[in-house]
């Protein structure tokens, strides 16, 4: 059976490009012939909307439905309710129902393992599963990190995210110590990069100096561009919306780096967990 790699796209900081990256990496991988499932793990349902399902609250089967089924041990078809996007990715959608599920998780048995248990039922159908995390380090993100083989951290290249990164790296260490010893950090993806400003350049340098020895930083950098912001309301990827743009090229380069794998420089040890 072919191996499936599950990647959580994670940063508790809001608006750093997690959803845009999940969508364009997912479709980038599908364009390279990979079987891809993207999972919307944010009750805002942004990934679901970006992929073209505008009325998220009318979607009958969502990630919350699937996770409830696991918690209640209901026998159902794990593949039912998975949506198919015409650019070749499958989607497990979400809406505000996931908010209630997250609260419910707090008291559930094996609460960090629910998403993993579900994804284990469908992962043989895929080469990659990408989980778009919500901007917090709550139960849903802990479920994503427990289900994942690795984490990609989009970082907005406009200020030094020192505190948020330290918190995130500590959370990854805790997850490694408690629920997922093999979790790796694949790397930091610099997003919303404005190459014209000195601030962006010095911030990119500062991110490299501060975290480059601990976590790999992808060579590809995603430029800030109006087209990238527009595409999120079009229901299609940047490759379909603006194929010749710098953002499309950057996401294609990033996709190639992800395909070539690489977990080098990941020196975070579970012993670091506090
Ligand atoms: N390269 C880019 N250039 C310009 N705007 C972008 C770019 N990438 C994303 N955006 C816009 O920035 C905003 C935040 O992006 P996105 O929703 O992907 O971030 P997020 O980290 O998922 O946010 P949240 O934390 O709310 O889930 C969106 O309005 C999006 O359209
Ligand atoms: Mg998002």
Give me the sign of the Cα torsion angle 50, 54, 57, 61.
Answer: negative
CB of 47 shorter than 6 A to ligand 1: no
Residue located nearest, by CA, to atom 29 of ligand 1: 229
Residue 2's pLDDT band (boundaries 50, 70, 90)?
low
Q: In what order do the strands lie in the sheet with 36-41?
A: 83-84, 89-92, 36-41, 128-133, 5-9, 150-156, 184-193, 217-223
Residue 220's pLDDT band (boundaries 50, 70, 90)?
very high
Q: Measured over all CA atoms, what is the biggest interatomic distance in the chain, rounded to whole angstroms? A: 57
Of 157, 58, 57, residue with least CA distance to 99 = 57
- Asked if residue 11 lies in contact with residue 54, where contact means CB atoms within 8 angstroms, the answer is no
- Ligand 1 pocket, mutate which of 14, 229, 249, 252 (most atoms under 8 A from CB): 229
- 5-267: CATH class: alpha beta
Domain range summary for the chain, segments of one domain joined by + = 5-267
CB of 192 shorter than 6 A to ligand 1: yes
Overall average pLDDT of the 172-198 stretch: 93
**Ligand having the closest approach to the CA of 46:** 2
CB of 222 shorter than 6 A to ligand 1: yes
Distance 224 CA to ligand 1 centre (A): 10
The pLDDT value given to residue 263: 41
DSSP code of residue 51: T
CB of 17 shorter than 6 A to ligand 1: yes
- CA–CA dist 91, 85 (Å, integer): 7
Distance 43 CA to ligand 2 centre (A): 10
Instruction: Write down the mean pLDDT value for the chain.
Output: 91
Overall average pLDDT of the 93-122 stretch: 93
The answer to whether residue 211 scores a pLDDT higher than 80 is yes
DSSP-based helix, strand, coil % in the chain, nearest 5: 45, 15, 35
Residue located nearest, by CA, to atom 31 of ligand 1: 229
Question: pLDDT by residue (tens digit) across 229-254?
Answer: 998 899 999 999 999 999 999 999 99
260: left (phi over 0), alpha (psi -120 to 50) or beta: alpha
The pLDDT value given to residue 271: 34
Instruction: Give percent of the chain with pLDDT exceeding 70.
Output: 95
The pLDDT value given to residue 266: 40
Of 149, 157, 143, residue with least CA distance to 42 = 143
Tokens 């010893």 locate to 181
């Amino acid at each position: 059976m072919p191996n499936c790699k599950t990647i959580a796209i994670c940063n508790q900081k809001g608006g750093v490009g997690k959803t845009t990256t999940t969508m364009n990496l997912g479709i980038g991988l599908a364009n390279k012939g990979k079987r891809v499932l993207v999972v919307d793990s944010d009750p805002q349902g942004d990934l679901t909307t970006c992929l073209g399902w505008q009325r998220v609250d009318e979607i009958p089967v969502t990630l919350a439905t699937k996770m409830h089924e696991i918690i209640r041990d209901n026998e159902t078809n794990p593949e039912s309710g998975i949506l198919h996007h015409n650019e070749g990715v499958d989607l497990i959608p979400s809406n505000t129902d996931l908010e209630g599920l997250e609260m419910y998780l707090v008291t559930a048995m094996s609460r960090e393992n629910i998403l993993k248990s579900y994804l284990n039922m469908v992962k043989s159908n895929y080469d990659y599963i990408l989980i778009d995390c919500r901007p917090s380090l709550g139960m849903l993100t802990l479920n994503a990190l427990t289900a994942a083989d690795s984490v990609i951290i989009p970082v907005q290249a406009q200020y030094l995210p020192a505190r948020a990164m330290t918190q995130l790296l500590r959370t990854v260490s805790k997850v490694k110590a408690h629920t997922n010893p093999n979790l790796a950090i694949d790397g930091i993806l610099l997003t919303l990069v404005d190459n014209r400003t000195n601030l962006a350049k010095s911030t990119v340098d500062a991110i490299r100096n501060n975290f480059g020895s601990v976590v790999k930083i992808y060579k590809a950098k995603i430029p800030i561009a109006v087209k990238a912001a527009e595409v999120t309301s079009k229901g299609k990827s940047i490759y379909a919306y603006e194929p010749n743009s710098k953002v499309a090229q950057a996401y294609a380069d990033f996709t190639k780096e992800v395909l070539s794998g690489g977990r080098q420089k990941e020196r975070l040890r579970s012993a670091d967990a506090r």
